[in-house]
Every structure is written in structure tokens, then in C-alpha cells.
């Protein structure tokens, strides 16, 4: 086999050399090696070594280090301002909770460290001095394009159920089918996903939705998704295909993709209820409030007719970011349903023109303030209600945003107060 030469970045090379000079084997490992083999640019580099955490601290005494997880053997070392996670070769103890090993111990055999990793394509190590270490034929599986468990699939998914979703995520991202035994095992063990923390499920699911092959994976493995999010199980069949077939039309924005996944998530199909249910599901997955708000809005307004007439009003209601996203979401929906997506480009341009024209789309842009209304005799909630009415007049060009004009409107509509 050809000797491989991967272009490791200088800080990674330097860390590996320092460990080797001190007498310890060291390799780049996991995702970065997989990406190299596939001819892709790695987004980060993990290093593994025979050195213990104490030995690493000694070797990198002059560098800034962060004690990321010393118990598990991980030290982060800053080399030329690049943070590098360096981990001692590990062997995992027994898995008792379906997620974490009850103990870890250190070893000086890299093969042992690779054997605890999830999939063959993720279980390779590379060193410029030692070459590629690939005891589970990850390179061959990269070339064939398959996701396969390291060792016995059923055992590996039983140890850690998160691997079930990781398999789907890598399969969707790399467009690699999942090997039969691995696929059968993950489907049969899908209900063990209940043991996994909601946050981890959310993270893997979001990654899966961004994968270029996510539609195929979500349709092929729908029972797994329904085990992770039981509230979606009623969609099984035609509705699920309709749901997932929209994803390839969506931009790579997690909020839009989650909205696409959840847009039909209430049995009534009513947008407002789907929106509330989408929020509840994401809250259950412990997603941040910004995500809950954004997805709820997209699902609620998925069918709202947008045109030049109501564009400024919607700019006020959703603000620039929200409206832009809604336009992109509706555009993706149009494309998925075979409608013409072009009008949405025009509306996006129109929105930019509105913004550049300095149009009024926030209460602070209005030529009167709450205090002006108070001076006219309005009190309490009546002030907010009137500001809202004024805004509606202005965004629909019924009155210009000029103080006198607005005050006249207020006077005319509050004569009973005088
Ligand atoms: P990405 O490009 O998404 O970061 P990655 O392969 O680097 O992909 P990470 O989640 O960063 O994935 O994990 C780094 C490596 O650690 C993996 O390549 C794999 O070898 C190992 N690993 C991570 N999570 C698990 C797990 N739950 N079970 C077994 N091995 C795992
Ligand atoms: Mg990684």
C-alpha cells in the first residue's frame, strides 16, 4: 500500500514531534484522519499518545495548557495559539448506564485506543513517522463509502446509545450507506435512545439535518427518529416523506432545517398548533430560547402570504433577520412543492431596498414617542395600543411618518378623551 503523507498543520506536527522526542508514540486520530483519507479539509485535530497526562504536562510545561479532562486523559495544549486536544491512549471499562464507561484506564497500545472508537472510518490514527494505523480497515471503508461499527455492532450500540444517532449523522454527512449489520443493530436498539441526554440528542439531530444526504437517512431510518422524538411518530408514512423531502431545498441554517422538520408536527396540521408543538418539542430537547422563538415563528408563518403590500409590516413584526429567514423558508417550501421560487428573490431585494431607504420598522423609528402620547392625555396600555395603530398606518403608507401627521391621527382617534 502506498505510504501516505498527510499535510498536518505545523502546530500538530510540532506537538507530535515533542511527544515522540520524549519517547512516547503520538498520532493524529479520529475525524481529522478520516477527512484526510477522504480528501476533505479537517476542521480540527485530535492527538492521542502513549504519554500519561502527567507526562504531557511535563513535556508541555512551557506551553499554556488547559486541564480539559485529566481524569479521562485529556489535556488541551496551546501551540502557536492553536488549541490541541491531546489524550492518552485509553481503554474503556464497562458501560453500565448505556452511555458512559464506568471507568477508563490508560494503555500504551494505540490499537487498543482505536478499538473503543465508534466506526471504522473514525478509528484510524496517523503519524508522520509511524504512518497510518488502521487495524479495523477504516481506509477501505472510506474508499467503499460505508459506515460500519468497530467490532460487534450490537455490543457497541448497547455500550453507548448515542452512537445510534452518530451513525446516522455520519451517514448523512458523508453520503455513506450504513453497513447491514450496523444498520440492523441500530434499528433494533433504537429505544435505548431514551437513556441519552436530551442535549446530546439535539446536537446529533441538528448535525444530521445539515447532512447532504439527510433526506435519505431520515426516510430510511424513520423509526429511529421517532424513538428520539416520539411526538413525531404520527407523521409516519406519506406525511413524513413530505416533511423530509423539503430538506434538500433548505439553506444550511439549523433554524430553517429544524422548522422544516417540525412544520407539520401537530396532528391537526394547523400552523399555529404546529408552531406551539414545535416549540414544545425543542424545549424538551433543551434548545436555547432563541431557537425556540425562531422555529416557532417560521412554522407559524410558513403559509403566510408575503407580498410588496405587507412586506414592511412583516419587517416590523419579525425584524430584518426574522423576515429574511421566513422568506428563505417559504422559498425552500415553494421549491420543494414545485412552485416558482423566484418571487421570493424579488421580495428579498425589495426588503433590502426598504432597509436602505431608512423606512420605519421599529417603534423607535416612529416620529412620535410614548411621551408625546402621554402629553396628549393617553395613559397606561392605551399608549402601547396607539403606538401599534400608528405603526400599522405608517407601514401601510396610510400616513407619512411625520410628527404632526401622527399627532393629528392620535387627536382624531381620541376625541372622546378631550
Ligand atoms: P466531526 O467532524 O463531526 O467533529 P469527529 O469524528 O471528529 O467528527 P467527534 O465527535 O469530534 O467526531 O469525536 C472525535 C472522535 O472520537 C471520533 O472520530 C471517534 O473516533 C471518537 N468518538 C467520539 N464519540 C464517540 C462515541 N460516542 N463512541 C466511540 N467513539 C467516539
Ligand atoms: Mg471532531
Residue nearest ligand 1's atom 10 by CA: 31
Those residues of the chain that have pLDDT short of 70 are 1-3, 416-418
**pLDDT tens digits along 313-347:** 999 999 999 999 999 999 999 999 999 999 999 99
Residue nearest ligand 1's atom 9 by CA: 31
**pLDDT tens digits along 6-33:** 999 999 999 999 999 999 999 999 999 9
Closest by CA to 372, choosing from 402, 335, 338, 342, is 402
Copy the grid coordinates of residue 243: 416533511
Which residues, judged by CB distance below 6 Å to any ligand atom, belong to the binding site of ligand 1? Answer: 30-31, 46, 117-118, 122-123, 160, 162-163
E strand or H helix at 28: strand 26-29
Confidence at residue 103, expressed as pLDDT on a 0 to 100 scale: 86
Query: What angle, rounded to 10 degrees, do the helices at 254-262 and 198-210 form?
Result: 100
Strand-pair partners of 76: 66, 85
Tell which atom from ligand 1 comes closest to the C-alpha of 160. Answer: 27
Residue nearest ligand 1's atom 16 by CA: 30
**pLDDT tens digits along 347-394:** 999 999 999 999 999 999 999 999 999 999 999 999 999 999 999 999
Contact (Cβ atoms closer than 8 angstroms) between residue 352 and residue 320: no
Residue nearest ligand 1's atom 28 by CA: 118
Neighbours of ion ligand 2 (CB under 5 A): 31
Amino acid at each position: 500500500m502506498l505510504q501516505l503523507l498527510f499535510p498536518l498543520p505545523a502546530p500538530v506536527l510540532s506537538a507530535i514531534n515533542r511527544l515522540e522526542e520524549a519517547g512516547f508514540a503520538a498520532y493524529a486520530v479520529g475525524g481529522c484522519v478520516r477527512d484526510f483519507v477522504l480528501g476533505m479539509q479537517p476542521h480540527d485535530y485530535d492527538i492521542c499518545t502513549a504519554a500519561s497526562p502527567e507526562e504531557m504536562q511535563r513535556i508541555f510545561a512551557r506551553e499554556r495548557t488547559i486541564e480539559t479532562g485529566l481524569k479521562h486523559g485529556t489535556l488541551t495544549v496551546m501551540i502557536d495559539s492553536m488549541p490541541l486536544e491531546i489524550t492518552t491512549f485509553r481503554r474503556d471499562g464497562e458501560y453500565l448506564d448505556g452511555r458512559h464507561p464506568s471507568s477508563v484506564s490508560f494503555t500504551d497500545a494505540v490499537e487498543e485506543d482505536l478499538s473503543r472508537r465508534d466506526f471504522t472510518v473514525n478509528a484510524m490514527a496517523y503519524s508522520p513517522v509511524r504512518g497510518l494505523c488502521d487495524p479495523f480497515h477504516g481506509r477501505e471503508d472510506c474508499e467503499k463509502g460505508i459506515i460500519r461499527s468497530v467490532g460487534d455492532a450490537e455490543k457497541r450500540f448497547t455500550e453507548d446509545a448515542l452512537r445510534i444517532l452518530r451513525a446516522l449523522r455520519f451517514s448523512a454527512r458523508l453520503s455513506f450507506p450504513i453497513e447491514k449489520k450496523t444498520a440492523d443493530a441500530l434499528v433494533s436498539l433504537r429505544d435505548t435512545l431514551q437513556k441519552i441526554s436530551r442535549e446530546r440528542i439535539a446536537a446529533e439531530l441538528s448535525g444530521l439535518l445539515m447532512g447532504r444526504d439527510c433526506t435519505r437517512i431520515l426516510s430510511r431510518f424513520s423509526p429511529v427518529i421517532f424513538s428520539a422524538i416520539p411526538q413525531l411518530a404520527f407523521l409516519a408514512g406519506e406525511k413524513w416523506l413530505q416533511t423530509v423531502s423539503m430538506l434538500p431545498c433548505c439553506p444550511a441554517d439549523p433554524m430553517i432545517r429544524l422548522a422544516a422538520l417540525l412544520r407539520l408536527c401537530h396532528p391537526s396540521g394547523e400552523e399555529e398548533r404546529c408552531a406551539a408543538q414545535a416549540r414544545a418539542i425543542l424545549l424538551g430537547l433543551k434548545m436555547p430560547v432563541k431557537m425556540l422563538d425562531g422555529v416557532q415563528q417560521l412554522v407559524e408563518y410558513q403559509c403566510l402570504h408575503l407580498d410588496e403590500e405587507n412586506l414592511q409590516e412583516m419587517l416590523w413584526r419579525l425584524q430584518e433577520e426574522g423576515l429574511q429567514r421566513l422568506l428563505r423558508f417559504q422559498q425552500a417550501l415553494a421549491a420543494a412543492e414545485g412552485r416558482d421560487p423566484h418571487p421570493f428573490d424579488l421580495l428579498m431585494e425589495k426588503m433590502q431596498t426598504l432597509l436602505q431607504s431608512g423606512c420605519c420598522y421599529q417603534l423607535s423609528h416612529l416620529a412620535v414617542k410614548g411621551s408625546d402620547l402621554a402629553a396628549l392625555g393617553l395613559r397606561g396600555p392605551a399608549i402601547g395600543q396607539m403606538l401599534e395603530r400608528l405603526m400599522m398606518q405608517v407601514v401601510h403608507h396610510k400616513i407619512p411618518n411625520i410628527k404632526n401627521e401622527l399627532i393629528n391621527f392620535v387627536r382624531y382617534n381620541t376625541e372622546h378623551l378631550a
